[in-house]
Amino acid sequence: MYFTEVKQKFIKIYGGEEKDIRLFSAPGRVNLMGEHTDYNGGYVFPAALTMRTVIAARKTDSKTINLAATDLPDRVSLDIENLCCYKDLWWGNYQAGVAHIMQLEGFDISGCDLLYDDSVPHGAGLSSSAAIEVATAFMLETFSNEKRGIDNKDIDLVRLAKISQRAEIEYAGVNCGIMDQFSSALGKKGHAIFLDCRDLSYEYVPISLDNKRIVIANTNKKRSLQTSKYNERRAECDIALKQLKSVLPDKAFLGEITVEEFLQYKKVLTNNTISKRAEHVIYETDRVVKSVAALKSGDMSTFGKLMNKSHNSLRDLYEVTGTELDTLVEEARKMEGVIGSRMTGAGFGGCTVSIVENDVVDEFIKTVGEAYKSRIGYEADFYISEIGDGAKELR
């Protein structure tokens, strides 16, 4: 939806004049490599998308945050003095959680009227929740800073990512890592982020696709991280780390353990399931390092092979893919011009990401889409997205 249309919709809901409406934005993300490594203290390699959450916002003198969305009939009002009370909302709990955590951290939360317009598909594994959280946090900090006379050029985007993560864990109940919120807050056009999830040190790596495109395929399988096995996987990794620390006491995260150390000490893991979870995390972290090196040297072929190995590991060792994701990847790999294909996001449904030669993109979408519908019974959606910027106010 164009910005003028968003503003007109805002006025239809809330009244007022267009000149008083401001626009804030944060993107979804695609993770190019490093799945389920972030909460294990490993490396990840995400990129912000041009698919985004846009908030039309207007400050008010009230003690209420009013929420609406362009694609939902729901209207929600949050009492600023009781922000702890909205965890069970069907829609609006992410916004309430961000406002609550920011309030706990000392921000002066303003009353405001808000209209959300999302181009990030919900439940697809492209971090629509992080886009909502980070856009909300950026907007609320902007308003808070203006109350206190603080220059908004000094907004700490890493802090906003941490606040958004806290909101998802403590308020929405998803025991997530930092990757989604970090990439939404700090994304950079034309670059992926090589992020160390232990200390949040990071490096922007240019992505030179030349005659290739990033094609995202959505399984359209409905899922919810709260009800999936996401938290179960995290608990299994905690068990693996505890057992490996008996022989590697200095390791604080699975992601700190090298492949060589794992091969030497994996015998201490007490069952096959725990061993498989640890093996995925440790080798996946290693694949991130190798992927960054490959892309820096322009070796897209090696990067594609690493993508394929990543998906195989997520399928066989971490067991988070499922028939829908595996079907999309299998059909993608059959096609000439596909450099690599893997699931992206938490899994259990969601999306795949493929690197596809530009002149076969249309054929890729048609052929893979038809095969998927034939095998699964319903259609997949496809998106060709550029790599975009992180959170900002749209001027």
3-state secondary structure of 330: helix
Closest Cα partner for 252 from 203, 317, 199?
A: 199
Chain centre to alpha carbon of residue 151: 28
Residue 180 bears catalytic tag: yes
| Amino acid sitting at position 24 | F
Q: What angle do CA 334, 340, 343 make, to 5 degrees?
A: 95
Burial of 249 (0-12, 13-18, 19+ CB in 10 A): exposed
- Nearest 5°: phi and psi at 239? -65, -45
Paired sense of beta strands 64-69 and 111-118, if any: parallel
Helices (H) and strands (E) in the chain, counts: 11, 12
177, 179, 181, 183: CA torsion to nearest 10: 180
Interatomic CA distance for residues 67 and 64, integer angstroms: 10
Q: Which stretch of DSSP H or E encloses residue 96?
A: helix 93-104
3-state secondary structure of 266: helix
Give 114's strand partners: 57, 67
Q: Residues near 229 by Cβ (< 8 Å), separated by ≥ 6?
A: 320, 348
Cα dihedral across residues 280, 283, 285, 287: positive or negative: negative
Paired sense of beta strands 351-357 and 212-218, if any: antiparallel
* DSSP assigned state of 57: E
Cα distance from N-terminal residue to C-terminal residue, the chain: 16
Alpha carbon separation from 262 to 45, 193, 279 (Å, rounded): 22, 26, 8
Active-site residue, selected from the candidate residues 38, 113, 118, 180: 180
- Structure tokens belonging to residue 302: 């090696």
| Active centre residues (catalytic) | 180
